[in-house]
Amino acid sequence: MKFRGKLKKSDIPSIEDIVRSTGFFHDYEVDIALELVEENINKGEEKSGYIFNLAEIKGKPVGYSCYGQTPCTAISFDLYWIAVHDSERGNGIGKILIEMAEADIAARGGENIWVETSSRPLYQPTQKFYLKCGYKKVAELPDFYAKGDNKIVYVKRV
């Protein structure tokens, strides 16, 4: 397995496949994930504000993270996306990707990493993943995404 931080236009179909394979996201969420990829490719990391790390097996992306400094803050970063292809889930790729993001954020002067996720039962493994990685649940906003679908907010200090 190899890791890299520079996106290529040829990564777009692989990232779409990764996100769709999880079974977690609506079509409009997949579209948003791809918009962030295209922003990074077209404008670069600095102008887009989106930083990526990819995990590859045999030259094909199988997982990725996307994060960036939270606008109008000095030390806070958002982890926007972390996804691993369903065929590779459970192999530790997500943990490596989140650790890479955390190290990079700390190197950039970040001190807080914010993560948001859904309260739906489908997302219980995601919630457990963040807790296992040292994130603390700091808020739950009722009926945020839809009736009965709360937004859960986690933070980790690095």
Question: What residue spans of the chain are helical by DSSP H?
Answer: 12-22, 27-48, 93-107, 124-132
Domain 2-157 falls in which CATH fold?
Answer: Aminopeptidase (3.40.630)
Contact 138, 153 (CB under 8 A): yes
Average pLDDT over residues 70-90: 97
When pLDDT is cut at 50, 70 and 90, the band that residue 102 belongs to is very high
CA dihedral for 113, 119, 122, 125, sign (positive or negative): positive
- Taking the complete model, does pTM exceed 0.85, yes or no? yes
- Neighbour count for residue 8 (Cβ, 10 Å): 11
Degrees to nearest 5, angle at CA 12 with 7 and 14: 100
> What does the alpha-carbon distance between residue 139 and residue 124 come to, in Å, rounded to a whole number?
16
For 17-68, write each residue's pLDDT tens digit: 999 999 999 999 999 999 999 999 999 999 999 999 999 999 999 999 999 9
For 107-154, write each residue's pLDDT tens digit: 999 999 999 999 999 999 999 999 999 999 999 999 999 999 999 999
Average pLDDT over residues 82-94: 96
Contact 54, 61 (CB under 8 A): yes
Instruction: Sketch the domain layout of the chain as residue ranges.
Output: 2-157
Question: What residue spans of 49-110 are helical by DSSP H?
Answer: 93-107
Contact 54, 11 (CB under 8 A): yes
